[in-house]
Amino acid sequence: MDTKLDSPLSLRKKKSVLGLLAISPLLILFCWCGARAIKARISRPQIIFVLGGDQQREKDAAQLALYNPDLPIWVSSGSPGNYVRKIFRHAGVNLNRLHLDNQAEDTLENFTTLVDQFKARKINNVYLVTSSSHMTRAYLIGEIVFGSRGIVMRPVFVQTNDKGDYPIKSIRDVLRAIWWLSTGSTGHRWFKT
């Protein structure tokens, strides 16, 4: 009976290959995220995209608009329209640049209701304006939803004193975003925010 034992070199090779296979998905994800981050920095944003829900976001977006006078501004489900227009008018922003969209009922829908419209307008890079306490969740969702259409984001943090979103909300909304990619449904009625 011939039982051949693996040599130490052969065992090391097998462990190395298995280790490489185990971390390959992480390496691919890291490279993909890195390439998207580089693309976001190299190309210039084409619009200012504001996630509604806080007046300070709209005020900071108005200031950003002054520094970027050629960019359109999209506010997704923000303050009442007349109030938003007043903020931008008071800041000196031409209201012809302002687009108000009130379809979204939550953060995920801020992205899903506009992603195809942005893509149809050939928008590939956006300033993403939201509260610092909300940015992690918003950015994760945006990476999935906007990323699925090749749109990159450059975050613009609005400073707040909020403690931030609970991690479970981020996990839930990332799963909902993946669900949306698969089905076209946000699952909003099952996952009330």
Burial of 123 (0-12, 13-18, 19+ CB in 10 A): buried
d(CA 58, CA 191): 27
DSSP string, 46-90: -EEEEE-S-HHHHHHHHHHHHH-TTS-EEEES-S-HHHHHHHHHH
Which residues are within 8 A (CB) of 54 and not within 5 positions of it... i.e. 6 or more apart? 130, 131, 158, 160
| Residue indicated by tokens 């709209």 | 58
Tally of CB atoms within 10 A around 43:
12
The structure's pTM equals 0.80
Residue 63, both tokens: 């200031």
pLDDT tens over the chain, length 193 residues: 555 556 665 767 766 766 666 776 766 666 656 666 666 567 899 999 999 988 999 999 999 999 999 999 999 998 999 999 999 999 999 999 999 999 999 999 999 999 999 999 999 999 999 999 999 999 999 999 999 999 999 999 999 888 888 899 999 999 999 999 999 999 877 766 5
Residue 70, both tokens: 């050629």
HSE (CB half, 13 Å, CA atoms) of 60?
20
| Residue indicated by tokens 């450059």 | 154
3-state secondary structure at position 110: helix
Q: According to the model, what pLDDT value does residue 129 have?
A: 98
Give which of 132, 128, 127, 130 is closest to 160, Cα–Cα. 132
Residues, the chain, total?
A: 193
HSE (CB half, 13 Å, CA atoms) of 136?
10
d(CA 50, CA 131): 10
